[in-house]
Amino acid sequence: MARLTVNNQPVEFRIDGETPLLWALRDAANLTGTKYGCGTGECGACLVIVDGQAMPSCTLSLGEADGRTVTTIEGLAAWGGAPDRNHPVQQAFVADQAVQCGFCTPGLIVAAAALLARNTDPTEADIAAAVTNICRCGVYPRLVRTIQRAGRIMRGEEAGVPVPAPAMATTPGL
């Protein structure tokens, strides 16, 4: 059993503490925006924010996360003080169409949001160092531009680009 704060809600998981946090979130909490890619902490598809740091949830056990505060892509906007789905990084990804198949996108957005929470004006080198996610579709050329746009929105130097509410159910967290 483990007690966590997930997306600002207290959650008690009554499952094996050895369960990777990824599967606790996806299977027990139905937070399926966090994706499974490599399972070895390499690709970034499963990134969540744990006590302010982007961490792979595939290699962190539920027991290790006990007592900690976790934010998933579903709760990211609120974590950044924005309305649902409207964290500045989400706005910038939509505005720049920095999404292809979308599978890696939640992890990329979480990595970028964690970086911008520390530094709203990152250089290309800062972004390359902090956002090491693997994208099989190759959205990399747009990432620097998109993350820097999100930073400008956060700094109030550029108007936000609100993400409209979905007209129908979509992939959670995108």
- The two structure tokens encoding residue 164: 């409209």
* Residue type for position 75: G
Q: Alpha-carbon Rg of the chain, whole angstroms?
A: 15
- Interatomic CA distance for residues 132 and 146, integer angstroms: 15
CB closer to ligand FES out of 41 and 78: 41
Given candidates 11, 17, 32, 39, which one binds ligand FES under the rule CB under 6 A?
A: 39
| 140 binds ligand FES, rule: CB under 6 A | no
Given candidates 25, 31, 50, 58, which one binds ligand FES under the rule CB under 6 A?
A: 58
In whole angstroms, the minimum distance from the beta carbon of 138 to ligand FES comes to: 7
DSSP 60: S
Given candidates 50, 77, 113, 139, which one binds ligand FES under the rule CB under 6 A?
A: 139
- The two structure tokens encoding residue 39: 């399972």
| 136 binds ligand FES, rule: CB under 6 A | yes
In whole angstroms, the minimum distance from the beta carbon of 159 to ligand FES comes to: 26
CB closer to ligand FES out of 6 and 21: 21
| 174 binds ligand FES, rule: CB under 6 A | no
Among residues 25, 104, 11, 102, the alpha carbon closest in space to that of 57 is found at: 25
Using DSSP, state whether 146 is helix, strand or coil: helix
- Interatomic CA distance for residues 36 and 9, integer angstroms: 23
Q: Could you list the residues that contact ligand FES (CB under 6 A)?
A: 36-39, 41-46, 56, 58, 99-105, 135-137, 139
